Amino acid sequence: MWNGTTRRSRWAARGSAALCAALLLGTMTLIFCRATVADPDFYTRAVSDADGYQRVYDEVLIDPEVREELRSGAAGVPLRSDLVIDNLPLLAPPSVLERTTEQAARSFVGYASGDGPAPSREALLRPLAGGAEQVARQHLIALRADTDAATAARLTTLARQLQQVPGQWEANSGAPLTDYLRPPLRSFVHETWDPPVAQRLYDRMLDPLLNSLEPATEDAKPPSLDRPATPPPREQPPWLTTARPVFALATAPYTPYAAAALLAAAFALALHTARRAGRTARYTAALICGTAAGAAALVGAEVWWLGPAPDELLPSGLPPSLHALLADVVRELYGSAALVWWRGVAVLAALTLLLVVVRRASPRRWGLRLTAAGAVASAQLVLLPTAMPAAPPAELASGPADRRPCNGSVELCDRPYDRVVQIGTHNAMATVADGFLGAHQDPSITGQLDMGVRALMLDTHRWETGRELLPANAMISTGTRRTLVKAVDDVVSKRKGAWLCHGPCRLGATRLTTQLRELRRWMDAHPRDVVTLVVQDDVSAAETRRAFRAAGLDDYLRKPPAPGAAWPTLGEMADSGRRLVVFPESADGPMPWYRNFYSYAVETPYEATDAESLTCEPARGGDDRSKKIFLLNHFVTREGGADRAEAARVNAAKVIEARARVCARARGRLPTIIAVNHVTLGDAMAAARRLNAEPPRGG
């Protein structure tokens, strides 16, 4: 009788322990889901860890298939010009892409848990539309600041009316978009200018522009951000029926408390049943945790080995760049999920080990052993990821310990300035970060320097009047030019001071002194770096001198040697502190540090419209081989802008290296400066490192 009762008690204890282990595994799974697939941050972190936001600009937007899709209307509106596509980083900067991803993640989790509708393309495009509207608002604010009060008020009214146009267009089934654009634009023009000027502006400029926007067919309709262009409902995915209860439980606010209460009750039952069977609580707890850990390890291994590969989860037919990006995001999701799961397994295994150690301890020493085992387990879990030694910084990891690098390399310290290959950024001031339309670079000037750029090509300007904006040789009729000049000068005032602009300052401008102060702060923080400025100077030397002095750069300015004379080494320039070289393209002095660039330099042509047009032929500066500096213009310009797709193509390290060597044979020396558009695309820095690893050529 006693043996039968004991056996029943033991079976009951085993059953309750197994039940408790199953509940523990279930609770761990619920916590896992709450921390991963049911958490919107899980998805946004994966995109960030895959460098997804930057790769949209650096890989996706230069993909020919993506560009063709955008031209045909994949973004909701056909973007027929590559110039428009290349301005998307300004309209949709990383902050907007992050908001779009957050919106997509929240929509997905809400849909999967039954708390929201299925994600729609229209809803996901709203942050992108908001980003474009914000950019337009910023330009409107800047324009209003330069106009009189009455014109500023009319601009505000015009902006409000234009905001209503998409809704009006969508609500009407037949009228073209231009029918809704014409009335507010016509009203603004006629209220702002005198009747003769207003009529000429509208007839000769605005009306032809609106006519170019007329649809090819009469039944063209706008894509809507609120209503799908293709309305058929999508079928519910088959996995959702099974997954929705899990998502609903994982996202419910009460779930952790309910799971903890249920698990505590199960543990109490298991321990009570174990005591009746004559087993200790610590033994039973160790058995429960060990069983749960083993089961979790088996589940994790099975999912790891049998789960689909990242590529198998993606739809077919995606453009290659988008497929590669999404595959990397899925890999990040897999990796993050695996890390969370196996951490849970490790915690259960460590707890099992701890309970075993405690069970074997004598009654007087179990507390000490419990503390020691807990400390060891915690140290292993917390410190293991940081146990590997960190690699030393690149600048400290190479070269003799008693020497500091110059421009990132100890070896370059002994090389003359003109024998060092430097990457330069063409129109370095025209950046997405600073809000330039038609930007030639994405990061700010200091961001470019942080990447390794050491030559900046800048354009200094004064804010243009209407007459300067439309010179006499502009390809428009004299009457139209006169009308436009008067239209601009009547309502828009000219800003004072020196500016960095590319083309009209209204398309993007930063104050010269502001950018020079940023440069000075960067140089303060990088005492061994030599920086070169090549300035297309449309402001006077005196005003330039005042800007450099106001920025606190006087002590950094280097006086060049006489043309044809030897340059100091980078190390000598860094040791002296005079390590900022400034060359104007037009002026020549009178400051001793402000000498004409082409007295010292030769270059290649700078107006290539495709990669095949990049040659080694002499351009400005001629082919005088006594000149020490060689500027290799290595960029493509189309429609007045910096084509991103071409920049990615020509900025490939192998392309740069090959052209630099070809031109070195033709011109007698390796380039001193290789000027590129969109330095974040391709790998110009790798090309410069490899070229600098070669012995200098020429004299």
Contacts of 410 (CB under 8 A, 6+ apart): 398, 399, 400, 403, 404
Most confident residue range from 86-90, 301-305, 678-682? 678-682
485 has pLDDT over 70: no
Residue 66: the pLDDT is 86
CA–CA separation, 408 and 452 (whole Å): 8
Percent share of the chain, pLDDT over 90: 38
Least confident of 373-382, 423-432, 553-562: 373-382
Report pLDDT for 390.
39
Which of these ranges, 290-294, 436-440, 490-494, has the smallest mean pLDDT? 490-494
Contacts of 59 (CB under 8 A, 6+ apart): 321, 324, 325
Q: For 583-614, write each residue's pLDDT tens digit.
A: 999 999 999 999 999 999 999 999 999 999 99
Q: Hey, which residues does 557 pair with through a beta bridge?
A: 580
- In this predicted structure, what is the pLDDT of residue 169? 67
Confidence of residue 425 (pLDDT cuts 50, 70, 90): very high
**Residue 231: its pLDDT value, please?**
44
41 Cβ contact list (under 8 Å, min separation 6):
105
Per-residue pLDDT band for 399 (boundaries 50, 70, 90) equals very low
pLDDT band at 2 (very low <50, low <70, confident <90, very high): very low
Greatest Cα pair distance in the chain: 118
pLDDT in tens, 434-465: 988 889 999 999 999 999 999 999 999 988 77
Whether 318 shows a pLDDT value over 50: the answer reads: yes
Q: Which fold does the domain 411-692 belong to in CATH? A: TIM Barrel (3.20.20)
- Report DSSP letters for 56-114, one per residue: IIIIITT-HHHHHHHHTTTTSS----HHHHHTHHHHS-HHHHHHHHHHHHHHHHHHHTT
Q: How many CB atoms lie within 10 A of CB 527?
A: 11
Report the mean per-residue pLDDT for the chain. 81
Residue 483: phi and psi, rounded to 5, are: -65, -45
Could you tell me the two tokens for 143? 């324009």
The pLDDT assigned to 473 comes to 55
Q: Please name the residues in contact with 65: beta carbons below 8 A apart, sequence gap of 6 or more.
A: 319, 320, 321
> 68: pLDDT confidence band, cut at 50, 70 and 90?
confident
Q: pLDDT value at position 478?
A: 62
C-beta separation of 57 from 67 below 8 A: no
Judge whether residue 111 has pLDDT over 60. Answer: yes
Higher pLDDT, 554 or 186: 554
- For residues 61 and 277, what is the distance between their CA atoms, to the nearest angstrom? 69
CB contact at 8 A, 250 and 112: no
How far apart, in whole angstroms, are the C-alpha atoms of residue 530 and residue 570?
7
Q: Distance between CA atoms of 461 and 118, rounded to whole angstroms? A: 51
**Mean pLDDT in residue range 418-426:** 97
- With residue 313 as reference, give the H or E element that holds it: none
Strands 422-425 and 673-676: parallel
How many Å apart are CA 499 and CA 510, to the nearest integer? 6
Q: What is the mean pLDDT of residues 178-186?
A: 82
Lowest mean pLDDT among 25-39, 85-99, 167-181, 252-266: 167-181
The β-bridge relationship of strands 641-642 and 673-676 is unpaired
- Helix, strand, coil % in the chain, rounded to nearest 5: 60, 10, 35
**23, two tokens:** 């509940």
Per-residue confidence (pLDDT) for residue 461, from 0 to 100:
93
Read off the amino acid at residue 257. Y
Please give the residue that has the higher pLDDT: either 223 or 515: 515
Rounded distance between C-alpha atoms, residue 556 and residue 580, angstroms: 5
Higher-confidence residue of 211 and 470: namely: 211
Would you say residue 403 has pLDDT above 80? no
CB–CB of 61/85 below 8 Å?
Answer: yes
- Please give the radius of gyration of the chain, using alpha carbons only, rounded to the nearest integer: 34
CA-wise closest residue to 248 among 38, 31, 26, 35 = 38
Quote the pLDDT of residue 352. Answer: 81
Q: Supply the pLDDT for residue 431.
A: 94
Both structure tokens of 698: 């020429």
| pLDDT tens figures, 609-652 | 999 999 999 999 999 999 999 999 999 987 667 889 999 999 99
The reported pTM is 0.75
Cα distances (Å, whole numbers) of residue 370 to 168, 363, 382: 73, 11, 18
pLDDT score for 170: 64
pLDDT tens figures, 671-687: 999 999 999 999 999 99
Domain boundaries, the chain: 74-212, 411-692
Q: Predicted confidence band at 375 (pLDDT cuts at 50, 70, 90)?
A: very low
* Phi, psi of 179, deg, nearest 5: -65, -25
CA distance 172 to 153: 29
Query: Would you state the pLDDT for residue 579?
Result: 98
pLDDT class for 695, splitting at 50, 70, 90? confident
Q: How many residues does the chain have?
A: 699
Question: With bands split at pLDDT 50, 70 and 90, how would you rate the model's confidence at 401?
Answer: very low
Burial category of 227 from C-beta neighbours within 10 Å (exposed 0-12, middle 13-18, buried 19 and up): exposed
Q: How far apart are alpha carbons 188 and 234 in whole angstroms? A: 44
- Is residue 438 within 8 A of residue 509, CB to CB? The reply is no
Helical spans, DSSP H, in 361-497: 366-383, 394-397, 445-451, 466-469, 478-491
Which residues 6+ apart lie within 8 Å of 688 measured at CB? 421, 422, 423, 452, 656, 674
Mean predicted confidence (pLDDT) in 131-142: 69
pLDDT at residue 6 above 90? Answer: no
CB under 8 A, 24+ apart: contacts of 325-330: 325/50, 325/52, 325/55, 325/56, 325/59, 325/60, 328/50, 328/52, 329/46, 329/47, 329/50, 329/52, 330/46
